[in-house]
A and B are shown apart, each in its own frame.
Chain A
Amino acid sequence: MDNKILFKPGHTACAGCAQSLAARLVIEAAGSNTIIANNTGCLEVFSTKFPDSAWNVPWIHSLFENCAAVASGIEAALIYLGKKDATNVIAQAGDGGTADIGLQALSGMLERGHDILYICYDNEAYMNTGVQRSGLTPFYTNTTTSPISARFPGNLRPKKPMPEIANAHGIPYVATASAGFPQDIQRKVKKALSIKGPKYMQIHVPCPLGWRHESGQTLAVAKLAVETGLYPLIEYENGKLSGARKFAQLKPVEEYLKAQGRFKHLLGDPESIKQIQAIADNNILKYNLKAEAQKSD
């Protein structure tokens, strides 16, 4: 790790913002030999408002949906200049910039085989514009464009399976991570950067404002998402599931839901909670998240 501070204090993220934490962990793990292309979104706005920038690495923002393509151009230029082997290229965006408006550019970047690590900071809605629903907003979430009413229990669709979509491109490394597990983020960034080719990482980053929890609870909420099976921490290497964080005892999803205002409307509604539990149960089966009983126990 560099001694230099690569992501400096003085940025204007909300107190307790997990995206700012994750962004710092990512660049500290990547090191100073890194160039970042950033989509429009919270991270861009709170870290680079002229005349300030939190970044102590080369950093560029162009538009909402094109960081994967801008990073592709950076990578091509580095190859032309003979500097690619000494330089990491990271493209980073929020969930809307990745799964919705930026999906085409991302798919192109993955398909073309650029040596780039793409990072999606997933706070599960368009937070920068005021908590609107995105393709990565979970089932039954209350957002400003999937509001609850007598007729609607919030967002009516499950999360778009971005890690699987990325993996389907046949790329060498795909991983999910969570702000609740900071060392795991850094381990996966380092691993990703040791692999040549396109890599996709999706980091779950609670947003105190949009998820409606206390700023000090950010990491606890993030952990609960993982510990319930709603946000499994998995890795794909060369197309195959190669890792999943397992738990001896997975927690009921209600513990996660009741920690956040965005799910408050579900608490008196066992049927809805059952449906969300089914999503977690499906993940637990699919990724085998339940740890075998330890022999030494």
Chain B
Amino acid sequence: MKEFLEGSRAIAEVVKLCKPGVISAYPITPQTHIVEELASMVANGELSAQFVNVESEHSAASVVLGAQATGVRTFTATSSQGLFYMMEVLFNIAGMRLPLVLTCANRAISAPINIWNDQQDSISLRDSGWIQLYAENIQESADLHLIAYRLSEDKSIMLPTMVCMDGFILTHGMEAVDMPKQEEVDKFLPPYKPLYKLDTAEPLSMGLLADPDYYMETRFAIQETFKSLLKAIPQVNAEFKGVFGRDYGDGLVEEYYTKDAQKVIVAMGSVCGTIKEVVDAQRAKGKKVGLLKVISYRPFPYARVYDILKDVPRVAVLDKAVSLGAYAPLAVEVKAAFSGKQKAPRVVSSFVAGLGGRDITLESIKEIFLKLTQKEASLEFIDLKPELLTEEYGQ
């Protein structure tokens, strides 16, 4: 049954259906609505969980780490600076193979302080050992939480998942959402059974010091698990379709008119909705354009990206984040997909847009398609205001 819901409300509802035992979070815009909703569900008895109000994101992540290690399903959410403040705990959680789920309401990083959307926060944590899934709309945001718990808790995976949804655009936007039923969720997501836990009946130590004799294998093991996720994500998405009826393809990427396309934009998150609109309009005019939406940024599906784009002459990669001093983060991965391969697009241009909440309009997307000419753009900022760049400090 479809309900007209705010994105944050939809996330809270779906998290409730996943029955976490411990929730901990610290306020940061634009994540707050999610945990406010969950706090009120706990307060009015709808959700039987312990809600721990902490003094920082560092402690929020630490609380869910401790609770998950004790054998309980947990949830936390954050954004931007909060995610960065959690950073060392997040690496720790992945290294300890604790399968928890976090919502990142994507927001720009300070300075200058800016509460609006881009994806710099989660992108900057790409090396943390967390599975990263990016949502296009509220429905997908909600569904990715179900997939996240299911994937993370799989005994052969045991890695945490970060569900990334664009701040404000998705967290505060309203949409008709098909909310799953409890029976469906219970069917898809069995109760959490930890592989190991802190239990006085069977003592064990976790979080040990590993010297050079042991450390490297822990990293290798995670890398191997990410490889296996390229198979596990499609499997879980197939099961998801079976239970809930919604189809996200293989769950790694979504193809939108890519088969015969001459020009394809690769992007992640809510901007894909805007791109689809432009693709529809241009297709109506007979132009062969398309979109490749990347859902799973970690693991990155290089083989899928290669297969889909190898015969496309011109590809544009749209990043909502930068890697200052280097190529843009998504563009780097897309280009790497063709490294050492037989085929490749003639042009893989890189565009950065929407930083700090600057609107990416239909015009912005049209401009990107127009700019996809013979000449490759190694890294171009879209919708810059050149007049601002002439201003100088101290004047």
Contacts and interface: CB of A to CB of B under 8 A. Distances in A.
Let me know if chains A and B touch directly in the complex, using CB atoms closer than 8 Å: yes
Interface of A: 32-35, 37-38, 44-45, 48-51, 53, 55-63, 65-66, 68-74, 76-81, 86-87, 104-105, 107-108, 111-112
A76 B58 contact: no
8 contacts: A37-B66, A57-B200, A59-B205, A60-B66, A60-B198, A69-B54, A111-B55, A112-B53
Given A69-B63, A73-B64, A81-B71, A104 B206 contact: no
Nearest to A32: B200
Contact of A56 (B198, B203, B207): B203
A50 to B, nearest CB: 4
B62 interface: yes
A111 B52 CA distance: 12
B109 interface: no
Given A44-B209, A50-B214, A70-B66, A81 B88 contact: no
A81 B21 contact: yes
Given A55-B203, A80-B22, A66 B59 contact: yes
B53 A74 contact: no
Nearest to A61: B207
Contacts of A108: 54-56, 59
Contact of A63 (B50, B88, B204, B208): B88
Q: Give 4 nearest A-B pairs by CB, closest first.
A: A73-B66, A69-B62, A108-B55, A61-B207
A104 B58 CA distance: 10
B368 interface: no
A105 B62 contact: yes
A57 B203 CA distance: 5
B209 A105 contact: no
A36 to B, nearest CB: 9
Contact of A72 (B66, B68, B204, B210): B66
Nearest to B56: A104
B205 A55 contact: yes
Interface string B22-45: 101000000000000000000000
A72 B63 contact: yes
Contacts of A74: 66-67, 69-70, 198
Contacts of B52: 72-73, 76, 112
Given A58-B204, A63-B88, A73 B62 contact: yes
Contacts of A70: 62-63, 65-66, 69
A147 B89 CA distance: 33
Interface residues of B, number: 43
B225 interface: no
A61 B21 contact: no
B104 interface: no
Q: Which of A37, A69, A72, A87 has the most CB of B within 10 A?
A: A69
B200 A87 contact: yes
Contacts of A104: 55-56, 58-59
Contacts of B211: 49-50
Q: Which of B54, B66, B207 has the most CB of A within 10 A?
A: B66
Nearest to A64: B88
B209 A35 contact: no
B282 interface: no
A62 B16 CA distance: 27
A111 B208 CA distance: 29
Nearest to B206: A60
A66 B58 contact: yes
A143 to B, nearest CB: 24
A77 B22 contact: yes
A44 B209 CA distance: 8
B206 A59 contact: yes
Given A62-B65, A66-B62, 5 more contacts: A34-B200, A63-B62, A74-B67, A80-B50, A108-B59
Contact of B70 (A38, A48, A73, A112): A73
Contacts of B391: none
Contacts of A32: 200, 203
Contacts of A72: 52, 54, 59, 62-63, 66
A77 B200 CA distance: 14
B89 A80 contact: no
B102 interface: no
Nearest to A33: B200
Contacts of B72: 77, 80-81
Given A50-B208, A61-B208, A66-B89, A76 B203 contact: no
Nearest to B95: A62
Contacts of A111: 55
Nearest to B93: A62
A190 B24 CA distance: 30
A206 B66 CA distance: 30
A224 B347 CA distance: 77
Given A45-B209, A58-B204, A74-B198, A80 B21 contact: yes
B49 interface: yes
B67 A73 contact: yes
A57 to B, nearest CB: 5
A73 B22 contact: yes
Given A55-B205, A58-B200, A108-B55, A76 B210 contact: no
A53 B66 contact: no
Given A70-B65, A80-B50, A104-B56, A49 B198 contact: no
B205 to A, nearest CB: 4
Contact of A60 (B22, B58, B88, B207): B207
A48 B214 CA distance: 13
Contacts of A87: 200
B67 A49 contact: no
Contacts of A76: 22, 24, 50, 52, 63, 66-67
